[in-house]
């Protein structure tokens, strides 16, 4: 589906990003495999995982290069985009996937824990996207046809909320909003922007699910990152040229459209605070309940 196309996948050394890179390559794309090789908390670096993915792609007859850029670094992200173009002659697909976790209740979270998670996820989406978008804008202004993709990675935690993840949830909600803006701004250039909110078993998620040793083979198969890569690969292909500004909730072989904020019930508002209560209470009674982590109405959640 992606024959002749060139992709960058960030955070591609392990987990969902690894599956993105492998599946894109299996469908004909040349892939720049980016991974800093940090720990789940974002500490340290290791080029090994990214090199292994490149070797696996090459062993299957595909084309790939390794990149160890820190996606929160503006200059390194620019050099990463330039590397993909230099290596393969073009850029068609950017999959922003790099992420870390530093879970903590909001009353215990440190400034460093907030900054690190928001930085890797939110700024780590902006920096590569900014440089890729500038390249595509230049191609469009030069009269060259552009059929490009930005595929971002949010989370159910960002769409619906999850205890202990104020930093991660805020960043992921921001990514969903960032996707909508990119779709509006880049559409005229021939670039679509979509977002995945995946549930899959990876090294980041396994501890939350009781640890690797407590995850059954059946659950591991049902929530394999491979399912997420299937959606991303279709979105990356020419077949998805008409799809933009959407957030896809992907859980195993189940896919749903996360429909986002909509203006709900409304009424006129009194001028005095003391008179506001009945109006607000009536609106709340008419409004759809907030969703639980499965994205379903949860009337008793709050």
Active-site residues, by number, are 155, 168, 172
Q: Report residue 85: phi and psi, to 5°.
A: -70, -40
- Write out the two tokens for 263: 């203006």
User: Strand order in 64-67's β-sheet?
Assistant: 64-67, 30-34, 6-9, 93-95, 148-153, 191-199, 247-251, 254-258
* C-alpha to C-alpha distance for 20 and 149, rounded to whole angstroms: 14
Residues in the chain: 302
* C-alpha to C-alpha distance for 43 and 264, rounded to whole angstroms: 43
């Amino acid at each position: 589906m992606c024959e002749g196309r060139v992709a960058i996948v960030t955070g591609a050394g392990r987990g969902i990003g690894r599956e993105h890179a492998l599946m894109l390559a299996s469908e004909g794309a040349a892939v720049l495999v980016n991974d800093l090789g940090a720990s789940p908390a974002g500490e340290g670096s290791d080029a090994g995982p990214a090199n292994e993915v490149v070797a696996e792609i090459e062993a299957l007859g595909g084309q790939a290069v390794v990149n160890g850029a820190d996606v929160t670094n503006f200059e390194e992200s620019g050099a990463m985009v330039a590397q993909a173009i230099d290596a393969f002659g073009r850029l068609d697909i950017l999959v922003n996937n790099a992420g870390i976790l530093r879970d903590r209740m909001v009353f215990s979270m440190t400034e460093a824990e907030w900054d690190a998670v928001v930085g890797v996820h939110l700024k780590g989406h902006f920096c590569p996207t900014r440089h890729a978008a500038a390249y595509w804008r230049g191609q469009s202004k030069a009269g060259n046809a552009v059929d490009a993709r930005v595929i971002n990675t949010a989370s159910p935690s960002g769409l619906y909320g999850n205890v202990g993840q104020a930093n991660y949830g805020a960043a992921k909600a921001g990514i969903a909003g960032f996707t909508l803006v990119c779709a509006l701004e880049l559409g005229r250039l021939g670039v679509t922007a979509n977002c995945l909110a995946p549930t899959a078993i990876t090294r980041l998620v396994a501890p939350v699910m009781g640890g690797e040793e407590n995850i059954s083979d059946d659950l591991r198969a049902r929530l394999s990152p491979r399912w997420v890569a299937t959606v991303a690969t279709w979105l990356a292909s020419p077949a998805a040229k008409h799809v933009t500004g959407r957030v896809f909730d992907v859980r195993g072989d189940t896919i749903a459209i996360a429909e986002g904020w909509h203006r709900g019930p409304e009424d006129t508002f009194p001028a005095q605070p003391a008179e506001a209560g009945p109006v607000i209470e009536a609106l709340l009674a008419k409004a759809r309940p907030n969703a639980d982590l499965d994205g379903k109405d949860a009337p008793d959640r709050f």
